[in-house]
Amino acid sequence: MDMRYRQLGRTALEVSPLCLGTMNFGNQTSVEDSHAIMDKALDEGINFFDTANGYGGRKFEGWTEQVIGKWLAQGGGRRESIVLATKCYNRMGPGVNDRGLSAYHIRRACEDSLKRLGTDHIDLYQMHHIDRRAPWDELWQAMEQLVREGKVIYVGSSNFPGWAIATANQEASKRNFLGLVSEQSLYNLTARTVELEVLPACREYGVGVIPWSPLAGGTLGGVLGDDEGVRRAGRRKRGQLEPIRERLEAWESLCDDLGEQPANVALAWLLTRPGVTAPIIGPRTMEQFTGSLRALEITLDDETLAKLDEIWPGPGGEAPEGYAW
């Protein structure tokens, strides 16, 4: 596959247009299968790997980071071939300071992630959530120190509102620091709130957008056409589908007309959105991973994009036009 890499935000760093999410690795996906998927990703030209210290399903252990660390330890140029992203914020111990974005916790969380990953640096270190208690001076001082020491190369955010992205980069600029270069946001055809203010803020400040949950937890993956999947779904999941069943029927019918799997169309749509760098795919199996690569070959014409807007309307554009005159 001829991989067309994209620059991450305003940086010169080039990453693949799909980011390999590892949240299932070591939890729903065995260590061996996780390693096989990562090897296959490299073979296919996927060079952007995302994880977090809280992933893996083992409390406080950072198990997914350990799974990746074991893979990197096999050598063969693995570490040098990927852009490695991880995150801090979530609770990683019983202590009162074992969470959040205090300088104390950022420093400690970074050191622990480096040990689990078996590497001397993190390419993209992301704040997993905004911490309203943490002053920007404290936060940026901690990140600057990690960058000076070569332990972190770039800094990103996740689940930040538009105002926080703008404020963070304004405060970083006062310190002559690069600031945020990426933002991970919930973004898919069913969840387009970020189009109001987050995406405009990211474009204004040169922050690359990395959408998570691009398939809306499987809702956009052809759920109505998967009878077994519907049967397996719990009562709560089925209850969530009923209010949008008409839209889902139109969605899956459109994908049938295109001759494409719904999951791949959902990914392809995100790749057309201004400011989006790379949606995160979170495969549990090799089949899911290889299937998602098809999204890179799909071209959606204007007519199809208009139909998608009819089925899954956004908030009405950017703020304030999205809700005011």
CA 238 to chain centroid, in Å, comes to: 26
Q: Report the alpha-carbon distance of residue 255 to residue 61 in Å, rounded.
A: 41
Token pair of 97 as six digits: 């300071």
Token pair of 119 as six digits: 């590497």
Helix (H, G, I), strand (E, B) or coil at 95: coil
Amino acid occupying residue 308:
L
Cis check: omega of the bond before 161, within 30 degrees of 0: no
Q: Which residues pair with 186 in a beta bridge?
A: 212
pLDDT computed for residue 235 by the predictor: 56
Amino acid occupying residue 123:
D
Q: Which is the CATH superfamily of the domain at 6-311? A: NADP-dependent oxidoreductase domain (3.20.20.100)
Q: What is the pLDDT of residues 107-131, one digit of tens each?
A: 999 999 999 999 999 999 999 999 9
Q: Which residues pair with 29 in a beta bridge?
A: 25
Q: Report the alpha-carbon distance of residue 142 to residue 127 in Å, rounded.
A: 12
Q: Report the alpha-carbon distance of residue 53 to residue 113 in Å, rounded.
A: 6
| Cross-sheet strand order for the sheet of 19-21 | 208-212, 180-186, 152-158, 122-127, 83-88, 48-50, 19-21, 280-281
Pairing of strands 48-50, 83-88: parallel
DSSP 191: B
Q: How many CB atoms are closer than 10 A to CB 105?
A: 22
Q: What is the pLDDT of residues 54-110, one digit of tens each?
A: 999 989 999 999 999 999 999 999 999 999 999 999 999 999 999 999 999 999 999
Q: Report the alpha-carbon distance of residue 252 to residue 249 in Å, rounded.
A: 5
What is this structure's pTM?
Answer: 0.95
Q: Which residues pair with 14 in a beta bridge?
A: 7
pLDDT computed for residue 232 by the predictor: 47
pLDDT above 60 (res 311): yes
Question: Could you give the percent of the chain with pLDDT greater than 90?
Answer: 93
Please name the residue ranges forming H helices in the chain: 31-44, 63-72, 78-81, 103-117, 136-148, 162-174, 198-205, 227-232, 235-241, 245-258, 262-271, 286-292, 302-311
Backbone angles phi, psi at 210, to 5 degrees: -120, 95
Active site residue ranges? 55
Contact present, 63 and 27 (Cβ < 8 Å): yes
Q: What is the pLDDT of residues 193-236, one digit of tens each?
A: 999 999 999 999 999 999 999 999 999 999 997 655 554 455 55
